[in-house]
Amino acid sequence: MLPKISVITISYNSVGTIEETIKSVVNQGYENLEYIIVDGGSTDGTIEIIKKYEPFIHRWVSEKDHGISDAFNKGIRLSTGDIIGIVNSDDQYLPGALWKIAESYSQEIDVYRGSILIVDSKASESYTYEPSMKFGMLPIYINVCHLPTFIAKRAYEIYGDYDRDFKLAMDLDLLRRFYRKGAKFKRINAVLGQFNVGGLSTKAGIENAYKEREKVILKNGGNHFWVLIYRWCLAAIDCFKWIIKKMPRINYKAIRYGNRL
């Protein structure tokens, strides 16, 4: 029997993007799907689009909330599936994503993580981002995006849900906590979703994101010494990038062939 998969979409004034998100879910053709939409009280026409797809939505609410983490938690509480996935109202699942999760389902696994397609329409570029499977003390060069992440309902009950105090680093906090407490992770060798650059996480200041990551360190087994190490690592990375940028470009062909070029 196919595992029941609950998919949550959170939205707020997403009239220009939510329809593509909804279609990416309902067009999966997955037979044991529960689709839930948690809206933050949109006033721009988002609700009309949600109502258009009501026959495919098992439950939806539209009311004020206390931010993204609170909306995530509302959806998790409403979910009754074996596995829960979250796709925001400006992103999409790729075809067959839910079937890939179902094929890998095991009652012993807590977290399933696949790859993600990053699309920057303004820069006219896209690339694939591989999933991180280990979440150590220092949050450097790791992929914590929730879009290609599916989590067992019982895992939320054991390890907890999203911390409402986080506005940007909620995914890092949750995955670090799960990893630290012994949750079992499984890699899915497939690209599961498309993340469109331009949401809250990409518009928010980098400084605020770093501050929240420091809070994640302190909350999940670290201390101020680890925070200092984290800051030193970031400074070292910035310094290295600056040096590379300032270095003159080397013409390796000229070196190989002398002045004949």
pLDDT band at 48 (very low <50, low <70, confident <90, very high): very high
pLDDT band at 249 (very low <50, low <70, confident <90, very high): low
**Which residue in the block uniquely carries the two structure tokens 């979440």?**
135
Phi then psi for residue 24, to 5 deg, are -65, -25
Burial of 235 (0-12, 13-18, 19+ CB in 10 A): exposed
CA pair distance 114, 132, nearest whole angstrom: 9
Residue 89: name the closest of 51, 40, 136 by CA. Answer: 40
**What's residue 195's pLDDT?**
92
Residue-wise pLDDT tens digits, 56-101: 999 999 999 999 999 999 999 999 999 999 999 999 999 999 999 9
Residue type, 228: L
* Residue 8 pLDDT greater than 70, yes or no: yes
**What's residue 121's pLDDT?**
74
Residue-wise pLDDT tens digits, 146-194: 999 999 999 999 999 999 999 999 999 999 999 999 999 999 999 999 9
pLDDT band at 120 (very low <50, low <70, confident <90, very high): confident
Indicate the pTM of the whole model: 0.88
**What's residue 29's pLDDT?**
94
* Residue 254 pLDDT greater than 70, yes or no: no
Give the Å distances, CA to CA, from 92 to 85, 142, 164, 234: 12, 21, 24, 31
DSSP labels for 210-241? HHHHHHHHHHTT--HHHHHHHHHHHHHHHHHH
**What's residue 250's pLDDT?**
55
Q: H or E element: which one contains 206?
A: helix 206-219
Coil, helix or strand at residue 3: coil
Q: Are 204 and 127 within 8 A, CB to CB?
A: no
Q: Are 178 and 155 within 8 A, CB to CB?
A: yes
**How many other C-beta atoms lie within 10 A of the C-beta of residue 202?**
11
User: Which residue would you say has higher pLDDT here, 179 or 121?
Assistant: 179
**What's residue 67's pLDDT?**
92
**What's residue 52's pLDDT?**
97
Instruction: State the distance between the two ends of the chain, measured CA to CA, in whole angstroms.
Output: 66
Kindly state the average pLDDT of the residues 4-23: 97
**What's residue 258's pLDDT?**
43
* Residue 37 pLDDT greater than 80, yes or no: yes
Residue-wise pLDDT tens digits, 192-243: 999 988 644 444 457 788 899 999 999 999 999 999 999 999 999 989 888 8
Q: Are 100 and 190 within 8 A, CB to CB?
A: yes
**What's residue 205's pLDDT?**
58
**What's residue 203's pLDDT?**
46
**What's residue 176's pLDDT?**
97
**What's residue 251's pLDDT?**
56
pLDDT band at 260 (very low <50, low <70, confident <90, very high): very low
What are the structure tokens assigned to 5, written together?
């998969």
Lowest pLDDT segment from 29-33, 51-55, 178-182, 251-255: 251-255
**Which residue in the block uniquely carries the two structure tokens 């012993």?**
108
